[in-house]
Amino acid sequence: MKKILLLLSLAFLIILPAFSQYQIITGGWVYDTETKSFKKNSGIYLVNGMFGTGKENVTNWDVKKLSEDDYILPGLIDLHAHYRVSFEGKAYDDTVAMPKIFLANGITSTFPAGEIEPEKMWDLQEKIDAGQIPGPRILHSGPYFGTAAPDWDPDISESAIRQRVDEWAKRGAYGFKAKGVTAEQLQVLIDQAHKHQLTVTGHLNSGYRNSINPQEAIAMGIDRVEHFLGGRLLVDSVDAYQSLKSMDPSDPRLDEIIQLYIENGVYFDATLATYGAIGMVDSPIFFDFAIENEYFTDFTLDIIKSKNTPSAFNELCALIYPVKQGTLKRYYEAGGLITVGTDRPLLLDNYLGAGIGGFFIHRELAAMVEIGIPAGEVIYLATQQNSEALGIADKAGSISPGKWADMMIIRGNPIEDINRTRSVHTVVKGGKFYSSHDLKNAAKGKLGPLVVEVPDEDQ
Ligand SMILES: [Zn+2]
């Protein structure tokens, strides 16, 4: 009996978190969400994984002192954070390297924007939350709604869509993503998701061949839109990419769709930088700043080298990138609501240009600053605004008492140079400190397939 008790108490010791529950971070500079600028850090209190006020009845605070050159930001939120890897027509969600790479880059929360293997992603989230493996928070999107989901039946009934929403909402999804749905299906998805107070976003199209233009989706009550603003300027005689290519972002008629977003409080996630990367646009933003090839498995690197041949899609994205830049600038200046997401699945069958998800958020931030959005504002969008868009502003987005103690610490002031967000050295999630360097080392050589079978993708 004594032996069992001893074993039980040992087990209890092991599951205790290996960090102090009461910490004060002093020194350095901290991002102030109110003024969108940095101020001297007068002390950040961490209490049981949340930000505290300092008025807690605690005597044994563990003090961590930062240097004068340290800048503290709320943990970044990536609202289009794919874990997906696909090659040779097969697809899976990477739960080995991607969680470490996201966290190492200061991303403490991810919305996967359509999970290929939702069961596996739930399992991953449970292991991360239990502290068994390092990774960001997984704010589940659940499976895709639409033909992008391997199990999607194009003739799915209305009640089956409602059931699918209910099932994943019950499991704890934070929102849903539509891709490849009909107008009737999207309307049912939005209606049912809203019954659970959950948001819906969509990868839509121009309206070409019965696809949905964001303009129609806004009328249906969609909450967020990915990639293209849509509207009448995005003509429906060709698909969205072909249409976007020849759009003039200075056309006054663009105001009509921008106003529609503003009037309806709909968020737009431009996923801007990925188009520049795929288009292989010549800009310092797209330089390989992290020697990212080190993160791939040998097998993956071989595939990338053998398929590293630009296609018509790369040329198309090179034409689209300046249109997207101009459109987002107009939208921002008009006062449109912007969210930040990266959209970097590892699709080994198509060359998507350099840049792994996780690292890529720094390119997205820099790309937004390049079109004229102030750096302090861009940080706000990737933290507080993203949390509001997903309906989690009570838990995330700023360094405020009662919220999750999620932060990233970088070197140098990112307001002066947004590229400094890449210098993240420490990430704090739920009050636990992680070394960015150690997380990166643990992910090196692990991203992408080994020579093992992955589940078939029906698409
Ligand atoms: Zn995507």
Spans of the chain, pLDDT less than 50: 1-17, 459
How many angstroms separate the alpha carbon of residue 283 from the centre of ligand 1?
23
What pLDDT is recorded for position 2?
46
How many angstroms separate the alpha carbon of residue 82 from the centre of ligand 1?
7
How many angstroms separate the alpha carbon of residue 78 from the centre of ligand 1?
12
Going from the C-alpha of 436 to that of each of 25, 77, 83, 229, 439, the distances in angstroms are 18, 16, 19, 35, 5
How many angstroms separate the alpha carbon of residue 179 from the centre of ligand 1?
9
Residue pair 137/111 in contact (Cβ under 8 Å)? The answer is no
How many angstroms separate the alpha carbon of residue 351 from the centre of ligand 1?
15
User: From edge to edge, which strands make up the β-sheet containing 346-347?
Assistant: 90-93, 84-87, 346-347
What pLDDT is recorded for position 290?
61
190 Cβ neighbours under 8 A, 6+ residues apart? 200, 220, 221, 222, 223
376: its two tokens: 């302090």
82 Cβ neighbours under 8 A, 6+ residues apart? 112, 113, 114, 342, 343, 344, 345, 346, 357
How much is the pTM?
Answer: 0.93
DSSP character for 353?
Answer: -
How many angstroms separate the alpha carbon of residue 426 from the centre of ligand 1?
28
Among residues 76, 77, 80, the alpha carbon closest in space to that of 342 is found at 80
- pLDDT tens across 279-335, in order? 999 998 887 666 889 999 999 988 888 877 888 999 999 999 999 999 999 999 999
How many angstroms separate the alpha carbon of residue 195 from the centre of ligand 1?
25
How many angstroms separate the alpha carbon of residue 76 from the centre of ligand 1?
18
- pLDDT tens across 374-427, in order? 999 999 999 999 999 999 999 999 999 999 999 999 999 999 999 999 999 999
What pLDDT is recorded for position 6?
45
**Gap between the Cα atoms of 404 and 27, Å rounded:** 20
Name the 3-class secondary structure at 294: helix
How many angstroms separate the alpha carbon of residue 51 from the centre of ligand 1?
32
How many angstroms separate the alpha carbon of residue 459 from the centre of ligand 1?
15
424 Cβ neighbours under 8 A, 6+ residues apart? 104, 105, 106, 408, 409, 410, 436
DSSP character for 113?
Answer: S
How many angstroms separate the alpha carbon of residue 100 from the centre of ligand 1?
20
> Which residues make up the environment of ion ligand 1, defined by Cβ < 5 Å?
343
Domains of the chain (ranges; CATH) run 74-396+439-443 (3.20.20.140)
What pLDDT is recorded for position 304?
86
How many angstroms separate the alpha carbon of residue 113 from the centre of ligand 1?
6
How many angstroms separate the alpha carbon of residue 53 from the centre of ligand 1?
38
How many angstroms separate the alpha carbon of residue 19 from the centre of ligand 1?
36
How many angstroms separate the alpha carbon of residue 172 from the centre of ligand 1?
21
What pLDDT is recorded for position 5?
46
How many angstroms separate the alpha carbon of residue 145 from the centre of ligand 1?
13
How many angstroms separate the alpha carbon of residue 278 from the centre of ligand 1?
13
What pLDDT is recorded for position 75?
98
CA atoms within 13 A on the CB side of 272: 27
Query: How many other CB atoms are there within 10 angstroms of residue 284's CB atom?
Result: 10
305 Cβ neighbours under 8 A, 6+ residues apart? none
How many angstroms separate the alpha carbon of residue 80 from the centre of ligand 1?
6
